[in-house]
Amino acid sequence: MLAVTPGVAGCDEAGRGPLAGPVVAAAVLLPLDFSIVGLNDSKKLDPVRRTDLFDQILATAKCEIEFAFPDEIDRLNILRASLAAMSRAVNRLAPPECIVDGNQVPPNCPCPITTAVKGDGRFAAVAAASILAKVTRDRYMVEQAAIYPQYGFDLHFGYPTPDHLAALRTHGPCLIHRRSFRPVADALLQGTLF
């Protein structure tokens, strides 16, 4: 059973590990009469359930979603870019307090921050944020698959699967690949750029 923390927002991100696409951060302040059943860490939910919960969260909670795109990731590094996106989401939401998944405090937040390792499996607001971030990012990557069909972004969402690595070796990186990530940097050395 996830803890419900009235008046305390949750913040989480999705997409630190992929070789392509953004990191997406979400901040969520659940309503005082919170009644969404089945919230959990987004990674523990099937895609249909995640989508259903995504719609319920957007319809009932105060939410902000922010992106850190590959150029920011390459400039700052993945951790700092993730924290920057989380900071933007929390700043736009401006809650009285916020629980952030993980053990790092995003910079320049307008409220007291508590960190919680595996918070997306412990706190309802953080679980809600994890769902918003994951579904938003997955949808973005499906859109990118239509632009760059040779990479299969709709199947692996940018993660370094064998198929993605093979496509990267064959076609080289595209505009949404993270150039600071080793397999992408290696592909750049081969001289292929889509």
The confidence score (pLDDT) of residue 194 equals 53
Kindly state the helix (H) or strand (E) to which residue 62 belongs, with its residue range: strand 62-68
Handedness of CA 47, 183, 143, 23 (dihedral sign): positive
Domains and CATH numbers, the chain: 8-146 (3.30.420.10), 147-189 (no CATH)
The confidence score (pLDDT) of residue 122 equals 96
pTM, two decimal places: 0.95
Kindly state the helix (H) or strand (E) to which residue 75 belongs, with its residue range: helix 70-76
Residue 148's Cα: distance from chain center in Å? Answer: 21
Which segments in the chain show pLDDT lower than 70?
Answer: 191-194
Radius of gyration of the chain (CA): 17
The confidence score (pLDDT) of residue 190 equals 78
SS3 content of the chain, % helix, strand, coil (to 5): 45, 20, 35
Q: Is 13 helix (H, G, I), strand (E, B) or coil?
A: strand
Q: Which of 26, 11, 62 is nearest to 137 (CA)?
A: 26
Q: Which amino acid is at 67?
A: F
Locate 94 and state its tokens: 């401006």
The confidence score (pLDDT) of residue 36 equals 87
pLDDT digits (tens, 9 = 90+) for 125-154: 999 999 999 999 999 999 999 999 999 999
